[in-house]
């Protein structure tokens, strides 16, 4: 899980840099996100990614991967989705190849991509699933991809909010929401007062550690659309273990555009409700 998350962050950082390797700012891409024609002597561009659902069955493992239709219209986004899925599959197969005998239960990769939002300015896709390679449960796969067709780039937390002060504001509001949810979960009549206190103390400690004012802690986010197609809020997504135990599942905290806008980089402010 950690390797997949690390790879994803590196990919998102490298992608926009590749577009600027000649030292100039990237030109706005056409509406369909098609690459510009190559000049004389230029290397042929890589073939666009073809996103096809995958179903594989074997006595040792199973793989299921599904994509939303139409993502090939955005080659950069399609490549990112395909690469994330391929990395997850490679990690599963490494575990399969290390087996000395068939496992008691087949190893498993289940990964689904969902279209969250699509407009001329922004396309957002969620990836959710798990990889099972033995043990009590699978390891969660949680990622979000926010693609800007007109700019031909992935919107990342680092680029979106470039200031430390902005992340302090986001971190404080997110931590407050997650702490309120933890307090609700701790109200369990089956627990003794001491057990409730221990549970809540542990949850608050994980929230504090997982929501420090570092953009890496907020790398997974999805836009909440307004009626006019702009972003009304950002919903930050936290996989299991970041701000709570596995049993708490994926957790969310929403920050409205009004809170974010003073800290959003100028080139992205038009994406948000003013």
Closest CA to 160 of 73, 231, 237: 231
| H/E run at residue 83 | helix 75-97
Three-point CA angle 165, 218, 253, nearest 5°: 95
Is the pTM higher than 0.85? The answer reads: no
Pairing state of beta strands 61-66 and 139-148?
A: unpaired
Q: How far apart are CA 206 and CA 244, in angstroms?
A: 6
* Helix, strand, coil share of the chain (percent; to 5): 40, 25, 35
Predicted confidence band at 237 (pLDDT cuts at 50, 70, 90)?
A: very high
Q: Which CATH number fits domain 2-35+46-155: 3.30.565.40, 3.30.479.30, 3.40.50.410, 3.10.20.30?
A: 3.30.565.40
CA atoms of 81 and 141, how far apart (whole Å): 13
- Give the start-to-end residue ranges of the domains of the chain: 2-35+46-155, 159-271
What whole-number distance in Å separates Cα of residue 111 and Cα of residue 67? 9
Q: Could you read off the pLDDT of 108-141 as tens digits, one per residue?
A: 999 999 999 999 999 999 999 999 999 888 999 9
pLDDT in tens, 186-236: 887 788 888 889 989 999 999 999 999 999 999 999 999 999 999 999 999
**Residue 148 structure tokens:** 């800007």
CA distances from 148 to 109, 121, 124 (A): 29, 6, 9
Q: Are 144 and 221 in contact (CB under 8 A)?
A: yes
Convert the pLDDT of each residue in 59-70 to its tens digit: 999 999 999 999
The closest alpha carbon to 52, from 42, 37, 66, 38, belongs to 66
């Amino acid at each position: 899980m950690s390797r997949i998350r690390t790879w994803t962050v590196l990919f998102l950082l490298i992608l926009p840099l590749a577009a600027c390797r000649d030292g100039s700012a990237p030109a706005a891409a056409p509406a369909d996100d098609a690459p510009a024609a190559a000049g004389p002597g230029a290397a042929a561009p890589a073939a666009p990614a073809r996103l096809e659902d995958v179903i594989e069955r074997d006595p040792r493992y199973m793989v299921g991967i599904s994509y939303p239709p139409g993502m090939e219209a955005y080659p950069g986004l399609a490549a990112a989705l395909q690469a994330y899925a391929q990395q997850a599959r490679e990690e599963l197969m490494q575990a399969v190849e290390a087996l000395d005998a068939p496992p008691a239960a087949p190893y498993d990769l289940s990964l689904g991509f969902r279209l969250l939002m699509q407009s001329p300015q922004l396309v957002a896709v969620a990836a959710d699933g798990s990889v099972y390679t033995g043990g009590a449960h699978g390891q969660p796969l949680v990622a979000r991809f926010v693609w800007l067709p007109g700019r031909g780039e992935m919107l990342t937390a680092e680029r979106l909010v470039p200031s430390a002060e902005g992340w302090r504001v986001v971190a404080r509001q997110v931590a407050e929401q997650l702490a309120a949810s933890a307090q609700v979960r701790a109200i369990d009549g089956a627990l003794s007062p001491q057990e409730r206190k221990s549970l809540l103390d542990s949850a608050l400690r994980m929230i504090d550690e997982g929501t420090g004012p570092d953009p890496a802690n907020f790398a997974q986010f999805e836009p909440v659309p307004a009626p006019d197609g702009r972003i009304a809020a950002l919903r930050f997504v936290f996989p299991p273990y970041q701000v709570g135990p596995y049993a708490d599942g994926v957790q969310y905290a929403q920050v409205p555009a009004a809170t974010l806008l003073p800290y959003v980089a100028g080139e992205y402010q038009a994406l948000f409700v003013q």
